[in-house]
Amino acid sequence: MSAEDRFRIFVRPLLNESSYRLEKELVNVTLRLIMEGETHVPDTLTRIRVLPTVSVVGQKEKVYRNDQGSAILEIYVKFLPKGSSDVSSVLKLVKLIKGLPGVKIVRVLAVAGSPVMFKGKPIIV
pLDDT of residue 10 exceeding 80, the answer is no
Inter-residue contact 107 to 123 (CB < 8 Å): yes
Q: Which pLDDT value is given to residue 82?
A: 83
Taking only the tens place, the pLDDT of each residue in 11-51 is 666 666 566 777 788 999 999 999 998 999 999 999 999 99
* 84-119 tens-digit pLDDT: 677 888 999 999 999 999 999 999 999 988 888 888
Instruction: Spell out the domains of the chain, with CATH numbers in brackets.
Output: 22-115 (3.30.70.60)
CA dist 4 → 1, 9, 10, 38 (Å): 8, 9, 10, 61
Q: Is the pLDDT of residue 67 over 90?
A: no
Residue 31 is predicted with a pLDDT of: 97
Burial 95-117 (b: 16+ CB within 10 A, else e): ebbeebebbeebbbbebeeeebe
- Reported as a pLDDT band with limits 50, 70 and 90, residue 75 is very high
